[in-house]
Amino acid sequence: MKDDIKITSFGETISFQRIIGKKIGEINSPTVIAFAGIHGNERAGIHALQNVFEKINKENLSFNGNFYGISGNLNAIEKNIRFESVDLNRIWTEENLNLIKLLDYKTNEHKEQFEIYKTLKVIFKKHKWPFYFLDLHTTSSNTQPFITISDSLNNREFCSEFTIPTILGIEEFLDGPLLTFINEYGHVALGFEAGQHYDKLSVSNCEAFIWQALKVSNCVSQHEIDSYYKKSKALFSTFKIQHQFFQIDYKYNIKSNENFKMNPGFENFQFINKNQEIALSNDTKIYSDRSGKIFMPLYQSRGNDGFFIISKLSVFWLELSKLLRKFKFYSVLTLLPGVRKHKENEYTLMVNPKIAKFLATEIFHLLGYRKKIKKENLLYFFRRDRKERIL
């Protein structure tokens, strides 16, 4: 057995291992798996998981399903840094996993990735469908809590049970996040951003999110956790922006040698006007090219996402896309010129951007695809609604 990791934050010292806690239920389905500390400086989720497991054990709460708490980048958590060499939330690709299966670790993070991967394999082997994944994070700027998901219908349905906002499609702007990898196996996978890294309220928000997710997934019945559930609902009802879906319209990418500095005082979800001054890039002022809500403004030195701009999705769009996907309207796409199915992957479409010029990315989004630009100038679109598989 490995030594415990010991950390002190939020006025408390805790010790834990890769598996922060587990609770095996009576009926044995569903299984909820919560990650915390995939970014090592985001410790709120670890404290929250410890608190939740402590309560479960102390009160001997009876569970239907199973619940696991898994720690992320142990080495970085101990050092209280986001990551050592590479971001553990940007390396979840099949290529990387094939390399680490050969024990070819390029960095500490690849080693952590392999340990997490092995832990997941064991859980998948032990339990039956359905599986629900939660990934607990915090942000550098002040924010109320919110959820991020890939826009699959099962993810959407699960999020609708929470009274906080949900942002769709962030994975289109990121390479190799853990939850996109999980989503590709068809499981519900939610990112939860609890608040600012060092704010004690972030711990309470994570706890509230965990209790609610355990109930929504039917992992535990409401009467068993009634007081925690009600308290967590009350906490979430205090936030300014309640449940609604947002899409990402824009991301500011920080280049490798760029000196980027956000103007002070931006809060997450704050409305910004077109031509408003947002940040400094190598002493040049950056203005917003559109109006909308500013999202995840960067107030730390690490990371290359400067800020995002988001807008609210209409109920009409959400309902229409649900309907079109249910009736498999996407199968029509392959009849169009310049669009063909990938030979080995039924969920992937290869699109020639010159021929399919008239097809806007929005159409693909509506039908449940996310876009990635790949080699030889082809656009690749990946369908987000999938049948469940195990790792």
Residues binding Zn ion (CB under 5 A): 39, 42, 137
Residue closer to Zn ion by CB (options 207, 385) is 207
CB of 39 to Zn ion, least distance (A): 4
Q: What is the DSSP letter of 198?
A: T
Q: Which residues of 202-224 are buried (b: 16+ CB within 10 A; e: fewer)?
A: bbbbbbbbbbbbbbbbbbbeeeb
CB of 157 to Zn ion, least distance (A): 25
CB of 170 to Zn ion, least distance (A): 12
Residue closer to Zn ion by CB (options 139, 321) is 139
CB of 42 to Zn ion, least distance (A): 5
DSSP 30-83: -EEEEEE-SSTT--HHHHHHHHHHHHHHHTT---SSEEEEEE--HHHHHHTSS-
Residue closer to Zn ion by CB (options 39, 43) is 39
Task: Collect contacts of 351-358 with beta carbons under 8 A, ≥24 apart.
Answer: 351/378, 351/379, 351/380, 351/381, 352/378, 352/379, 353/377, 353/378, 353/379
Residue closer to Zn ion by CB (options 137, 365) is 137
Length of the chain as a residue count: 391
CB of 136 to Zn ion, least distance (A): 9
Radius of gyration of the chain (CA): 21
The runs of H, that is alpha helices, within the chain are: 44-58, 74-79, 94-101, 108-126, 153-159, 178-183, 200-216, 226-236, 315-326, 361-366
In the structure encoding, which two tokens stand for residue 100, read together?
């680490």
Instruction: Give the DSSP H/E element, type plus range, for residue 280.
Output: strand 277-281
| Backbone φ/ψ region at 378: left (φ over 0), alpha (ψ -120 to 50), beta | beta
In the chain, count H helices and then E strands.
10, 20
Residue closer to Zn ion by CB (options 39, 383) is 39
CB of 214 to Zn ion, least distance (A): 22
Residue closer to Zn ion by CB (options 174, 318) is 174
Residue closer to Zn ion by CB (options 39, 215) is 39
CB of 192 to Zn ion, least distance (A): 10
Residue closer to Zn ion by CB (options 88, 313) is 88
CB of 38 to Zn ion, least distance (A): 6
What is the C-alpha to C-alpha distance for residues 166 and 148, in angstroms, rounded to an integer?
6
